[in-house]
Chains A and B, each alone.
Chain A
């Protein structure tokens, strides 16, 4: 499939002109809530082509970044158990918990492995029944169906040495929490493309209807992002607040119902602790009683130390868009992608890492 048209400078220029022409006559703050959008905006220099009345903010869209210390500490505690092979997506490795990281645990001889898919973790379990293979599941609605599918497959194949530590979160209610936060100022949301591939547009409707905040579901190429921003500013100019889809090739209005059914079968909503935001009711996914054999938190008796926050790190404020990455005292000094202190610098999709890598932060955006 040829995506080059979505990187076409001609189309991008047309959209930039269209955005400029839709000036609503006031300052507007537009927040994206997806790590892949964070990177796309930074990498394609989109902040630099915005008119001065638009501020693009990054919100809590990086699943690794919003994972609370307690959850990272729990994953580390599982890795320290005998006969356990802990598997995870690569982004989680270097994230500091209160006292250690998975990367450090691996260095000290624990069996911690990076996998591309939860199915790879399942294959490891099948191959070596003497090991307890645990998959650390961190992610949003995009990834949740995969975890559900892996658990269902384990059950079907009778694989009993596989379990999941689930720190999954769901996005829409977190956006509601941001809109309700008096410290956060957001006029509109660029909504996450692949989260929406699963959930569709309905779960965001309350943002427009109850709070009069527009949202447009966006793809990830420069033209996709510019199209979404243009649709947002058109709404703001007209005083409308609607949920729209700019990424029609990847998102059906109703999402993927089959994938959602699988998620509902395996998981139930639970309260979740978000770094920087706190506990948001019913935004976590807990493994249902029926599948508790695959729940690492019930399978293992874990002793989790009291969590400790990272001194000086403003990740929590960065995740709410009230502090820009370079406004943190540690940014680029004590905290760099080579020696990250907070999760937003560790994950390649964290706002701090994206700013550090792609922005001339010394001069830019000091508005």
Chain B
């Protein structure tokens, strides 16, 4: 059970990043490769607030969220909106560029040394269902589950969420129906940035505040989303946990050198059987 908890805790981080990917993807049909960097930024903001300034964790959550929101707006205005709707998905390249810029800025501001952030609640370890895990890991897993269902509910039941789905399915039709797709895209980028920026305070105690964090997470979170299905929040949850647990179990019983092999094996297997992912929806157009 120790291995399962370990896999779920790492998987929870993939889930959180995948939720960020999905918010952008569902609301504006954009895949934002810079998304994990907001989490990385959040860990450094959290380090400054909690460790350097000695303020409570809740302040780090708020400040990380505000910074993520502001950077998200800036990214949408400079790297996404100028290219959206052109049909060539140039934002796939510009968001990678934005990701590099964010990483470089954090490196300049905070340096390369990793920093420890005290855990949410405490650094203590508890035994649950026969396996040990830290309290912070438990918080991470609970957050991943709660946020997946929360964002799913919001996108399927709120007016704004449904407007986002409409814009994602057909940008032109949504505009004709009176939806301001530009504002929606900016909002999605800001909200996803704010969410991951604030979560840095919860993820940081596990990963440290280290400027390479975004690069480490981006591929696995992408795989998690591909397994679960792009656009599905339930899929992000299952995909993230599957990737984390497969990694941990293979690392435990076969050796870590086989972990990536197994994760991509699962990805290929899922895509062969269900190209849209476990919970993704196949889009068909009648011509």
**Bound pair: A and B?**
no
A-side residues, CB < 8 A to B, are: none
Could you list which residues of chain B lie within 8 angstroms of chain A, going by C-beta atoms? none
